[in-house]
Chain A
Amino acid sequence: MRTDTQAPAAESPASAGPVRTRRKLPRPAPAALYLLGLLAAAALSALTGFSIALTAIYGVVLGTLAVYVAARLVEGRRKATDRLVTCLVWTAFALAMLPLVSLIYTVLDNGLARLDAEFFNSSMLGVVGEGGGAYHAILGTLVITGLTALISVPIGLLTAIYLVEYGTGRLKKAITFLVDVMTGIPSIVVGLFAFALFALFFGPGIRLGIMGAVALSVLMIPVVVRSAEEVLKLVPNELREASYALGVPKWRTILKVVIPTSIGGLATGTTLAIARVVGETAPLLVTTGFVNGTNLDPFSGRMTTLPVFSFYQLTQPGFPPEFGIERAWSAALVLIVLVMALNVLARLISRFFAPTTSR
């Protein structure tokens, strides 16, 4: 009865069936044992002056040990290993969630203070200390991101269609390789590229919204290409063949069969790519510059975006500094909400477009 090496009959005399039955820990037992381990860890760390970090480290070790030993004694080796790995997975999950929760808490804590109507309705024009807002930065972000999407989505989608439907041999390999390389370019390098490109035509010192959009496009295109390529590859070849067999030319097959079948995935990938570039700071610092007033024309004058706004409010908060720092946190909060909204939108899109099979 004590170990699992005994014969099935000895394991459980009550059961007459061919399937071996085992003793099991009651359902809440592992959690209770783990908590017990945590308490013991708290006591242990209290011996040397209480600290949360030490408690957590001791607690994970002691809790895991308690669950493992108990399971080993009651349930046998295989179940004990299962419980051990479960503990490790939960620990890893907690470790991964910790920074996220802490980040969201900090941003909410610091950012909610200035998240008022004024923040959304006024720019920083003429504001030195208290007040002011990110109206110009929010609109700047929307304009520049919209322009980026306008440039990147057609190029990215067409590249992906070429790679999946038409490309063969060396050219396809070369494009795939270059897209991979583009994915790895540091964002500040992209900013310098756009800066150098426009400086060639307009002279050094030029700052335009469109420059930022060009820089962000270089970052966004490979993301769009990669995600669209994967989605287009998922379209079953049988559908293409069915279309060809009806005498439909290739380009119409792509337009009317392949793209409608994968539209949900394409839209999701594009939305996530937008979410990826909306928070970029470095390339915009050198391309769009910074301005206190509202400028909605990307082809003339400097523009401000949320990340750059946040950066400047933090590094040059003015006097007294706390108002600038508050504005920086609020801008960060708005940016997080924006990115989350885009992610939720992507999920909704993929659900909305998913092919239905209901009768």
Chain B
Amino acid sequence: MAKRIDVSDLDIYYGNFKAVEGVNLSIEPRSITALIGPSGCGKSTFLRSLNRMHEVIPGARVEGKVVIDGQDLYGSDVDPVDVRRQIGMVFQRPNPFPTMSIYDNVVAGVRLNSTKMKRAALDDLVERSLRGANLWTEVKDRLDRPGAGLSGGQQQRLCIARAIAVEPAVLLMDEPCSALDPISTLAIEDLMTELKERFTIVIVTHNMQQAARVSESTGFFNLAGVGQPGRLVEFNPTEKIFSNPDQKATEDYISGRFG
């Protein structure tokens, strides 16, 4: 299920503006990879390029290769829609569909893709996904209520349940806890540790403790200067990054002596 991702010489552009330059890294299956770095350095852009989500912004394009289990995601015969079915995404702000109930939100990926499923199979999928997102006990009695009525932390876990319901190989998370309180954050971190048994997880975070707590590998992105593209400065096992980084810039950022 979980897959390996290899990125080589990836440049990402918005129109003529080069946002990210020369990224090379390998993401191991069944692991959590954290991306850290200051705002505007291209972490989220890079994350979105992994499932071709950045293409929804007009003028965005990439050069270079993103290979998942031997297949180039940017090959001419690859449909971005199929890429996104394999690589799910959770966003910074919880975004359940406001017109749908909790139940419908979880099965949205299946239903919107018009996959025909029996009611019993759907019920089963909802329970499995909500249990997987640690939300089942809290909402099992009100599955028909609107998803937008949940608390922020519950909404975010609902979005995770929605993302894992389509059984992706990789789960991308773009600052999933930045709008949440510490208790909800803890719930989602525990969840990530459970999910990595089945999925490859890549998470962008501004919270360095979070990166240190949950991830096996960490990548540090930084800008060379104002108006310059962001770069991957260092990519190493998390322990090494947080104890003995190769680069001075990484150490400065992690220890708060940045800039």
Answer yes or no: B152 CB below 8 A from chain A CBs: no
Determine if B146 and A246 form an interchain contact, defined as CB atoms under 8 angstroms apart.
no
Partner-A contacts on B (CB < 8 A) = 51, 53, 56, 58, 81-86, 88-89, 91, 93, 95-99, 108-109, 111-114, 142, 145-146, 148-150, 159, 162-163, 166
Determine if A246 and B166 form an interchain contact, defined as CB atoms under 8 angstroms apart.
yes
Q: Which of A238-287 contact B (CB under 8 A)?
A: 238-249, 252-253, 256-257, 260-261
Determine if A248 and B93 form an interchain contact, defined as CB atoms under 8 angstroms apart.
no
Determine if A238 and B84 form an interchain contact, defined as CB atoms under 8 angstroms apart.
no
Determine if A355 and B146 form an interchain contact, defined as CB atoms under 8 angstroms apart.
yes
Question: For B145, what are the chain A residues with a Cβ–Cβ distance below 8 Å?
Answer: 358-359
Determine if B53 and A248 form an interchain contact, defined as CB atoms under 8 angstroms apart.
no
Answer yes or no: A51 CB below 8 A from chain B CBs: no
Q: Name the contact of A243 in the complex, choosing from B85, B112, B146 (C-beta under 8 A).
A: B112
**Given A357-B146, A357-B149, is A245 in contact with B97 using a C-beta cutoff of 8 Å?**
no
Question: For A248, what are the chain B residues with a Cβ–Cβ distance below 8 Å?
Answer: 81, 109, 112-113
Q: Which of A209-251 contact B (CB under 8 A)?
A: 236, 238-249
Determine if A246 and B99 form an interchain contact, defined as CB atoms under 8 angstroms apart.
no
Interface of A is mostly: helix
Question: For A102, what are the chain B residues with a Cβ–Cβ distance below 8 Å?
Answer: none
Determine if A245 and B53 form an interchain contact, defined as CB atoms under 8 angstroms apart.
yes
Answer yes or no: A5 CB below 8 A from chain B CBs: no
Determine if B84 and A261 form an interchain contact, defined as CB atoms under 8 angstroms apart.
no
Q: How many angstroms from the CA of A129 to the CA of B146 in the assembled complex?
A: 61
**Given A357-B146, A359-B145, is A245 in contact with B163 using a C-beta cutoff of 8 Å?**
yes
Answer yes or no: A168 CB below 8 A from chain B CBs: yes
CB B219 to nearest CB in A, in angstroms, measures: 21
CB B249 to nearest CB in A, in angstroms, measures: 31
Q: How many angstroms from the CA of A237 to the CA of B95 in the assembled complex?
A: 10
Q: How many angstroms from the CA of A32 to the CA of B149 in the assembled complex?
A: 48
Q: How many angstroms from the CA of A253 to the CA of B163 in the assembled complex?
A: 16
Question: For B91, what are the chain A residues with a Cβ–Cβ distance below 8 Å?
Answer: 238, 241-242, 245
CB A145 to nearest CB in B, in angstroms, measures: 29
Determine if B82 and A247 form an interchain contact, defined as CB atoms under 8 angstroms apart.
yes
**Given A241-B95, A242-B159, is A247 in contact with B53 using a C-beta cutoff of 8 Å?**
no
Q: How many angstroms from the CA of A243 to the CA of B148 in the assembled complex?
A: 16
- Told that A241-B95, A247-B81 touch, could you supply 4 new A-B pairs with CB distance under 8 A? A168-B58, A245-B84, A256-B112, A356-B148
Determine if A355 and B56 form an interchain contact, defined as CB atoms under 8 angstroms apart.
no
Q: Name the contact of B56 in the complex, choosing from A241, A252, A256 (C-beta under 8 A).
A: A241
Question: For B149, what are the chain A residues with a Cβ–Cβ distance below 8 Å?
Answer: 356-359
Question: For B109, what are the chain A residues with a Cβ–Cβ distance below 8 Å?
Answer: 246-248
Residue of A nearest to B79 (CB): A249
Q: How many angstroms from the CA of A9 to the CA of B99 in the assembled complex?
A: 58
Question: For B150, what are the chain A residues with a Cβ–Cβ distance below 8 Å?
Answer: 359
Q: Could you give 29 example pairs across A and B, Cβ below 8 Å?
A: A238-B91, A239-B97, A240-B56, A241-B91, A242-B96, A243-B97, A243-B108, A244-B56, A245-B53, A246-B88, A246-B108, A246-B109, A246-B113, A247-B81, A247-B113, A247-B166, A248-B113, A252-B114, A253-B112, A256-B111, A256-B112, A257-B97, A257-B112, A261-B98, A355-B146, A356-B149, A358-B149, A359-B145, A359-B150
